[in-house]
Amino acid sequence: MWLTGYVAIYSIATSLVVHLRASGRNVQTLTILTNVIGLGFPLVFLCITLPVSLVGGHAWGTAIRHHEQLQRFLLGAAEQWSPGEGLDLSLLLNALPIVDDISANLKRMTDLRLLYYITFDIGCGLTLLAYFFVGGFYVRVLRQSLTLTRVDTGGSLNEGQKRVKRTMNVGFVRSRFQ
């Protein structure tokens, strides 16, 4: 989820830079900032989540191995038991090291899951803040642009309409003023 949200934010920010550049503004700093954040944010997020995911994957694999050991032990004990026979609880003492390992691994997995959820929540929160910031800035720039392009009562193009014409000629859409 965070990656798709990030890609949407990056595309909106890139569109904003193109819009500002087409309207004649100097956007060199904003272009560099957008591209640095564009590469930096996913790399930082990956560097945070990858170690937690790798350790969590190892803990999951350990849990599967413990489950298989316990299952083999119980199947072996079931083969030795016959109906009408009493249950020998001393056999269960051999399973205690496996159960202790399972308990320790479960605690470790719980801690890792908490760390991963906290990281995920922080990433989602930053993504949401970026949506509001970039989207709000883009809407503000568009409002300013539309305010400049209001039609005059005269027949000539005003400065705002000339900017719109220049913007339309930069993109793929042809201007109606041509």
Tell me, what's the pLDDT at 1?
57
Tell me, what's the pLDDT at 172?
44
The two tokens of residue 155 are 């027949």
% of residues, the chain, pLDDT over 70:
80
Distances (CA, A) of 43 to 2, 14, 26, 40: 13, 18, 28, 5
Identify which has the larger pLDDT, 172 or 157: 157
Average pLDDT, the chain: 78
Helix or strand or coil: residue 41? helix
Tell me: the pLDDT tens digits for 102-149? 888 888 888 888 888 888 888 888 888 888 888 888 888 877 777 666
